[in-house]
Amino acid sequence: MDYDFKTKLAAERERVEDLFEYEGCKVGRGTYGHVYKAKRKDGKDEKEYALKQIEGTGISMSACREIALLRELKHPNVIALQKVFLSHSDRKVWLLFDYAEHDLWHIIKFHRASKANKKPMQLPRGMVKSLLYQILDGIHYLHANWVLHRDLKPANILVMGEGPERGRVKIADMGFARLFNSPLKPLADLDPVVVTFWYRAPELLLGARHYTKAIDIWAIGCIFAELLTSEPIFHCRQEDIKTSNPFHHDQLDRIFSVMGFPADKDWEDIRKMPEYPTLQKDFRRTTITSEQALQDPYFLEEPLPTSDVFAGCQIPYPKREFLNEDEPEEKTEKVQLHLTQQCCWTEDIPPTKNIQPTASCGQRPMTIDEGLEDDQHKLSSNR
């Protein structure tokens, strides 16, 4: 915590309820709490904020980890933690973020619903490229600073709405993130199995404890495929909760049915995986780094990636709806299929502002203390 925070008496500290208006403005659930859309009461700015209330009393290790990491990490494509509030009256902890109006889960759902209603509208390829580039740039920054995200999925990829950062990707929900070393240390046996099944790399499904940055790259590949098709590439049924048993036979079957079975020469470490004996046959397993992915010729072809993924066009996606306090988010979701006639999404629109490759990989490691919709939404995510 800040020195100023630690030296002030409880009565002297700023209280979130005195500073922000957020009652009745619940917009989602995170890994460990509710998320509210908020505005300052004093009217000093018209900016919208996201207030995350940590569930329960006190603060969990997951929340501590997210706070510690986000106070150190600063990148345009990583969500910025603005402030931490601690209420002594009810022992609640609040995290203040910039508000993102959209996320990839809702964007993909919008396009999937249009396809189901026989009014298909694919994501423009320029938008897909811009989204992918910004996701890779943010993950490249995390990896360059020795951080694994470990829970990448569409719901954790936010996109800013109208405002100074319009169309900017923000990687969110660092509750499962970990620092890693080289060589990597094994994760503790009590560490929860991470990454939603559909985006979980084969080594995780095979029980690996020594895993690498490749698990984030695999998840990004799954997200890329979903952006192109509006469907999860490795969709299968999954349990309601994250289990301590990493092996999930149906998910492996789905991956192998799409990509083929991994041969020893393509994945030399496969025989070392704890669950390898359960497999029967001989899936190309070559994973590139985020830095290599950013240098792919794909990003040099027209249309070039832009800093505004909406490419200056009117945003067709509906704003988030407010949720009832006691009602799960998936029960109140409504897909609005009305597309604005002013939407200028066509393939020949020139990019408004091309993104130049960043130098984040050159930074030194930091010191840090460390259905489809029901299935995906049951493992709720950060907003």
Which residues are part of a known binding site for ATP? Answer: 52
Residues forming the annotated binding site? 52
**Phi, psi (5° rounding) for residue 102?**
-130, 165
**Cα 267 from chain centroid (whole Å):** 27
3 state SS for the chain: CCHHHHHCCHHHCCCHHHHEECCCCEEEECCCEEEEEEEECCCCCCCCEEEEEECCCCCCHHHHHHHHHHHHCCCCCECCEEEEEEECCCCEEEEEEECCCEEHHHHHHHHHHHHHCCCCCCCCHHHHHHHHHHHHHHHHHHHHCCEECCCCCHHHEEECCCCCCCCCEEECCCCCCEECCCCCCCCCCCCCCCCCHHHCCHHHHCCCCCCCCHHHHHHHHHHHHHHHHCCCCCCCCCCCCCCCCCCCHHHHHHHHHHHCCCCCCCCHHHHHCCCHHHCCCCCCCCCCCHHHHHCCHHHHCCCCCECCCCCCCCCCCCCCCCCCCCCCHHHHCCCCCCCCCCCCCCCCCCCCCECCCCCHHHCCCCCCCCCHHHHHHHCCCCC
Residues forming the active site: 151
